[in-house]
Amino acid sequence: MPQDEKNSQPQKRRGRPPKQQQTPGGQNGGQKNGQTNNQNSGPKNSVKIQDATVPAAAAQNRQSTPAKRSKPSRQRQTEPLRVAFMGGLNEVGKNMTLYEFKGERIAVDCGLAFPDQDMPGVDLVIPDFTYLEENYESIRGVVITHGHEDHIGALPYLLKRVNVPVYSAKLTLGLIRGKLKEHKLLDKTKLIEIKPGDTIELGGFHVEAIHVNHSIPDSLALAITCGAGTVVQTGDFKIDTTPIDGDMIDFSSFARYGKKGVLALLSDSTNAERPGYTMSEHKVGESFDTLFRRAGNRRLLVATFSSNVHRVQQIIEVAYQLGRKVALLGRSLENVVSVGMELGYLRVPEGLLISIDMIHRYTPEQVVIITTGSQGEPMSALTRMAFSDHRKVEIGPQDCVIISATPIPGNEKTVGRVINELLKLGAQVVYEKMYDVHVSGHACQEELKILMGLVRPKYFIPVHGEQKHLVKHAALAQSMGIHPHNIMIADNGVQLELSHGEMKVGEQVQAGPVFVDGYGVGDVGSTVLRDRKHLAQDGIIIVAVSIDRVSGKILSGPDIVSKGFVYVKESGDLMQEARETAIRCIEDCRGRSRRDWNTMRGRLREDISRLMYERTRRSPIVVPMLLEG
């Protein structure tokens, strides 16, 4: 395992802007006194993007322009900063942004998304890394804002193809190490720890880490400075005045950059539709205390996101106060708790945690089980318990289940089904709409406006969200005085060119979803998914027949096999008609060209398909199997 150097940290530069100069150090860039854990390694035209017509360039906006700055040099006017969106736009998850200036590139985040119902058999969805692989020599590093899966989950798949250094905070790197160890990449990867206030130099980029509040510790925003100006990317954030870890969002750093002048702001749009402010995480702790006391003699099960370290900490604290033991259920949850305890982000009293195998030694009122599955994932612990399919935990009337999460868009039905099944088993179920058992980790409208007011960007680009979130966030920016011509709603694959004179759409880059299915990465494409959905909807018919290679006569068969189409024993007449149709088709083809097997297969597929549609109004996949005898 790589070892961190203990004798240095990245140098802090709070009093003045970083120098605009090329940093020596070759492909991987550099960091002043940085830690490493492995030594080896204009025109007013419009552009229509995703059904939204958005100005590509704009005039100077006095309301959104910060204090007077010196006139930019001719070089700065002719050298734009290019920002390419590899994921995270018009979708929830898969966040990744690529910055390029003077031929050097850095990436921010490398996340995954989880498959929806239109992706049968797919395990994960990751960004397309082709463009990064083609420009491997110019990439100076990847900077990660925080440790959620939609920001770190695809990192191992990138590092298998492009071995570049990774920069992030302590907890985030701890979670990344676990992933890299699984993929046997840990010893090959250069991981560099940074802290809020640190500035790292990656080629011609100077990146300052800024502390923000989110639902996981060590969350960062980034101020990315190059010769074209400064871009602030917020990452996921909210404004919590009473955070669990005691550290509020660093308003002063945002204001400092706003005073100097910010070229563009890329801001989290997840909660752009919600008015007001996001509640503090402390509100959930109060709800847990109330609900745990009301549970009385019931056993408690709390489902939450495995990476929500603050939520887990509050559950542990309330359980300890009430004299209950805590058991963990779910591999990802166990990993996060282990890393959190090891790095000091989780404070767990000695003897409080017990193995899930030991819960039967205690009475129901002595136990709290923290579990995964708050989104109704089919293979999660909570779902298996709800359908009485878990080997170690059986749900019954003695249980109180608290679902401490809000369904991600698209998961409402699966979560509702899990709740219904739990209720059928007699359990008491508490979920987000009933009590304050969940608060978001993302900023609502008033918080988004506060940040815009501090940063005062010339250009505004909403990120991290579906189209409705991006459009709403853009409207908020306009209400804050940012001219519509200075606001861009982009899409994955769009590359923007930013300079002091204009913001315009540049050359498109290759960016799209890549599906991970088991060990296969990218081998499941649109054609395979279409076939899978076809199979799921209509099933398959296999026509197997053995034919003499010389005479072309049928030696055996045809045998008709139905899978997912009709029940053969109850559809004898249809199967017999299919056999007769297959025989006529083969005899007809034999009389014309006995050796043209492709023609025979095509005719069989066409004739059987027509028959099945006429009889059932369904279109199963027909697979002819011709065997030479």
Report, as residue numbers or ranges, the catalytic residues: 268, 442
Q: Which amino acid is at 496?
A: L
Contact 271, 278 (CB under 8 A): yes
Q: Cβ distance 197 to 14 under 8 Å?
A: yes
Residue 540, class by beta-carbon neighbours within 10 Å (0-12 exposed, 13-18 middle, 19+ buried)?
Answer: middle
CB count in 10 Å sphere of residue 454 = 20
What is d(CA 295, CA 284) in angstroms, rounded to the nearest whole number?
A: 16
Place of tokens 């699984």: 182
For 485, list phi and psi in degrees, rounded to 5.
-70, -15
Q: Which amino acid is at 531?
A: D
- For 135, the token pair is 């420009």
| Total H helices, total E strands in the chain | 16, 28
Collapsing DSSP to helix, strand or coil, 237 comes out as: coil
Q: Is 489:218 a contact under the CB 8 Å cutoff? A: no
Bridge partners (DSSP) of residue 461 are: 266
Nearest to 241 by CA among 473, 452, 443, 463: 443
290: CB partners within 8 A, 6+ apart: 435
Helices (H), 444-504: 445-455, 467-479
* CA–CA separation, 154 and 95 (whole Å): 9
| Cβ–Cβ < 8 Å for 199, 256 | no
Up-side HSE of residue 333: CA atoms within 13 Å toward CB? 24
Pairs from 519-523 (Cβ < 8 Å, separation ≥ 24): 521/126, 521/157
The H or E element that residue 142 is part of is strand 139-143
